[in-house]
Amino acid sequence: MAEQFMFEEEEFEGQVSRHTLRRIAGLARPHWRWVVGFLFFIAVVSSLDSLFTYISAQMVDQGIVAGDPVRLRQLATLYAGLIIVQAFSVFAFIYLAGILGERVQYDLRKTMVNHLQGLSFSYFDKTPVGWIMSRVTSDSERIAQLVTWGLLDITWAVLNILTAMFFMFLINWQLALIVLAVIPVLIAVAVYFRRKILVQYRQVRRINSKITGAYNENITGVRVVKALGREDENLHEFNYLTSDMYRAGYRAALLSAMFLPTVQVISSIAIAAVIWYAGVEALNPSGLMAGLTIGGIQAFISYVTFMMWPIQDMARVYAEMQNSVASAERVFSLLDTQPDIVDRPNAIDPGSVRGEISFEDVDFYYEEEKPVLTDFNLTIRPGETIA
């Protein structure tokens, strides 16, 4: 039992490789129609979000401030109609993403089980059942979530930022440049925390695999544990693993928690700069902002918040994505494992044969340093039964 607790899996260090990301993306390739469908509806929803803010600004300037009830009614009717379109689009992308996730998870689990059937006995001698079960169950689910909801989050964030920037330049390009200057700082902060969070979530997944393996071996081998009186030793080892898991999870949660307020502070500075600059210039009749309307200022501030929100939400997205990527690395390590003995491409199946079977000086082992049979000799003649 203790040997199962000490199982060491492959360590993954450094940045996520492009090869790993390509393999993750390749899982969705057979279902590209579903991917295109839900990405299209995400684009519709994101574009409408930005358009609603612009229409609201027009309602203030052209309807309320101008005192034009007809124009206000027209814009309100347009707004209501677009809400119906957005509601249908939200339903469509959630439905398509859910179906895509189930299909990816089904294909991945089937591939892993088929691959496990072809591995050598030695692999199962050295690898705890719990570790394998963790790959097939929880890790495959995390990868499916990355392919669907992770892709959704990234697409939504990028489109929100692009559409918000488009309307900000449409309203006032000088103010848009002020906000644009903050983006490199936010990207630098995001990259820094991304690296730190990835390291911690790799550690979390590694320890989680050990805990799953230990838990499985304790339950399936409970009779052996009790027969050998190892209850206290196994409990101590299990507590040691769970303590490591807690510390790694705590560090990952701490980094995620630090990321959000850092981005919020930077975002607040950008909003304050916009309000101050727009307000001062708007009061100056000959200033650059002299033509900026009340609705325009209101919409611009909304767009700044609207653009910063996806970046703030990246704390959650990064945590989930890095956790899923760590799971993918372990699943791919299983799929990349090759059996010890592989049939040659030109191997010939002799079919049914008759005659005697003879073993002469046969050595057999799963691991070279641990022979199972040495100098084995046996002859079996036709018709004999050897028990």
Q: Confirm whether pTM is higher than 0.85.
A: no
Question: What CA–CA distance (Å, rounded) separates 333 from 228?
Answer: 34
Backbone angles phi, psi at 357, to 5 degrees: -115, 130
Q: For residue 333, give the amino acid letter.
A: S
Sign of the C-alpha dihedral computed for residues 63, 159, 252 and 26 taken in this order: positive
Residues comprising the chain, all counted: 387
Measured distance CA(380)–CA(339) in Å, rounded: 29
Rounded Cα distance, 140 and 155, in Å: 22
| Tokens, residue 305 | 């918040």
Bridge partners of residue 380, in order along the sequence: 357
Among 17-31, 223-237, 283-297, top mean pLDDT goes to: 17-31
The residue type of 330 is: R
Burial code of 331-346, b = ≥16 C-beta within 10 A, e = fewer?
A: bbebeeeeeeeeeeee
Domain 2-335: give its CATH code: 1.20.1560.10
Segment 266-298, tens digit of pLDDT: 777 877 877 777 777 666 666 555 567 777 778
pLDDT at 129: 78
Q: Structural domain boundaries of the chain?
A: 2-335, 355-387
3-class secondary structure, 378:
strand
Q: Which helix (H) or strand (E) holds 375?
A: strand 370-380
The region of weakest confidence among 10-24, 171-185, 233-247 is: 10-24
If pLDDT is split at 50, 70 and 90, which confidence band does 1 have? very low
Give the integer Cα–Cα distance in Å for 153 and 108.
22
Q: Say which DSSP state 284 is in.
A: S
Which pLDDT value is given to residue 291?
63
